[in-house]
Amino acid sequence: MAIRPAEQLIHKAAWLYYAHGLRQDQVASQLNISRASVAMYLRKARETGIVNISTSTQLFTDDVLARQLEDALKLDAVWIAPENDYVLDPSTDIAVLAASVFLELVKKGDRIGVAWGRTVYTIADVMSYADLQDVTVVQLCGNLGAPYSYRPDQCTMEIARRLNAKGLNFYAPLVLTTEALADGLRAEPVIREQLADIGNCDLALYSVGTVDTDSHVVKCGALSPGEMGVLREAGAAGVIAGQIIDAAGKALDCSYNRRVISASLSSLRQIEKRLMVVQEDSKFEPLLAALAGGLCTHLVVGASMARRLLDHAEKAS
The residues of the shown chain that bind a copy of itself, judged by CB under 8 A, are 8, 11-12, 14-16, 18-20, 30-31, 45, 49-56, 58-59, 85-88, 92-93, 96-97, 99-100, 107, 131, 133
Among 6, 59, 180, 190, binds DNA (CB under 7 A): 6
Tell which residue, 284, 258, 115, has the closest CA to residue 177.
Answer: 258
Tell me which of DNA, a copy of itself, none is bound by residue 91, counting a contact when its beta carbon lies within the kind-specific cut-off of 5 to 8 angstroms. none
C-alpha 244/C-alpha 258 separation (Å) is 10
Tell me which of a copy of itself, DNA, none is bound by residue 64, counting a contact when its beta carbon lies within the kind-specific cut-off of 5 to 8 angstroms. none
C-alpha 265/C-alpha 249 separation (Å) is 9
Tell which residue, 131, 191, 122, has the closest CA to residue 158.
Answer: 122
Using CB under 7 A as the binding rule, whether residue 87 contacts DNA is answered as no
Among 8, 20, 36, 192, binds DNA (CB under 7 A): 36
User: To 5 degrees, how large is the angle CA 258–CA 262–CA 265?
Assistant: 85
Among 23, 74, 107, 192, binds DNA (CB under 7 A): 23
CA 117 to chain CA centroid, Å, is 9
Nearer to DNA, 23 or 107 (CB): 23
- HSE-CB at 25 with a 13 A cutoff on CA atoms is 0
DSSP code of 234? T
Nearer to a copy of itself, 73 or 95 (CB): 95
Residues that bind DNA (CB under 7 A): 1, 6, 9, 17, 23-25, 33-37, 39-40, 42-43
